[in-house]
Structure 1
Amino acid sequence: MHLSTVRDLDDLVRLVESEGGDELYVRWSRGPQVDLGEGLEQASRDGLTGIRLPGLSANSLRREAWWGGRSLRLWLARRLYDYQHLPDLRGPDVRPWVLRGREVARGPDNEPLVHCERPLAWVADEVLHEARKLVDEQGSREWGPMDRR
C-alpha cells in the first residue's frame, strides 16, 4: 500500500483543510499495511490488560470549537507532540500516519477507537521535530506529552 508522506506541518495543515478534519485521525503503529492487512479485524489491544479493543486506537485531528480561530498548525503540532514517545516505547518501526475513519468506541484512556475508511499519509520525522519545537516555544511548564514512563 503506497501512501504519500506529509513532510512538514504546513503540509499537514493543507491535508487537514483539504480533507475536512472532522473524520481525520492520527495513529501510531507499524502502518496501515499491518493494521488493515487482508482478513484482519481492525482492532487494538489495551496495554494494561491485553483485551482486544473494537477498533484502532487513534487520536482525532479535528480542531475543537473551544480552540476558536487559533492556529490549526499549533493544534496539529500538539496532537503529534502528545505521543512522540511511542516509537521509543514500541519500536522504531512505529510511526504516525493519518487516516480518514469513523469512531466506533472509546478506549481505556478515552481515546477514539476507529474503523479506518482510508489511509491518507505517513507523517515524516521532520514534522515531529517541527511539532516539538513549536510546542516547546509556547513555554508552558505545566504541559507535556502523554508519556507514562
Structure 2
Amino acid sequence: MSTTEGLSVLASLDELTRLVTERHGLYVRWSCGPKRDLPLASSKDDLTGVRLPGLSANSLDIEEWWGERPAHIWVARRLYDYCHLRRVKDARTRPWLLQGVEVGRGPDNEPLVADVEPLGWIAEDVIVRACRIITEQPGQWGPLARDGTT
C-alpha cells in the first residue's frame, strides 16, 4: 500500500475485497477527500441545500442474500454504481474507503455516516478493474446516472 496525502492507497481490487470480507461497517465515499470532509462531518443535499447529519457514503458490506457469490464482484458493483460521480461532481472527486457508524439516510436513500475513520484512497486502477468486471457480466448493468436522461 502506498500513501497519498497521508492516507494509504488501496492499489488492488483483491486488497479492497479482503478488507470488505474481514470487516463490517466499511463505506466508499466519492469526494475531494477526508481533509475536506471531516471538518464539516456532514454532507449537503445538492437539490435543497439542506445539511445532512453525516457524510453520504455507500456501504460495502456484503448482504446476506449475496450468498456464496464472488465477493470481488459485489465490491466491483458497489464501486461501479457510483463511478459517474467523477464526471458530475468536482473534477477532484475520488473514491476513498472509510469506516463509520450509520446515523441516517439521505434523500437518495444513501447511508449517512458519522464517527468516520478514513482508511485509504481507492486507486484509479481499482475502479478501472471494477468497471471491466461489471461490464463483462452477462446482465445489463449500468451505473446510476444523474444526467436527467432516461
TM-score by length of 1: 0.91
Residue matched to 2:27: 25
Residue matched to 1:10: 14
- CA–CA distance in structure 2, aligned partners of residues 100 and 14 of structure 1: 15
Provide Cα deviations, 1:12-53, integer angstroms capped at 9, x if missing partner: 1122234x1x2100000000010013xx3x110112111111
Offset of 1:90 from its aligned partner? 1.0
2:143 aligned counterpart, secondary structure: coil
1:27 aligned counterpart, secondary structure: strand
Residue matched to 2:142: 144
- CA–CA distance in structure 1, aligned partners of residues 52 and 64 of structure 2: 28
How many residues are aligned here?
A: 143
Residue matched to 1:62: 61
Offset of 1:91 from its aligned partner? 2.2
Q: Is 1:99–1:116's contact at 8 Å kept on the other side of the alignment?
A: no
1:28 aligned counterpart, secondary structure: strand
1:66 aligned counterpart, secondary structure: helix
TM-score by length of 2: 0.91
Runs of 4+ in 1 over 3 A off after TM superposition: none
The code of the aligned residue for 1:25 comes to Y
Q: Is 1:26–1:99's contact at 8 Å kept on the other side of the alignment?
A: yes
Residue matched to 1:73: 72
Identity %: 54
1:92 aligned counterpart, secondary structure: coil
Given the superposition, is the C-alpha separation of residues 127 and 116 from structure 1 closer, same or farther in structure 2, using an over 3 Å criterion?
farther
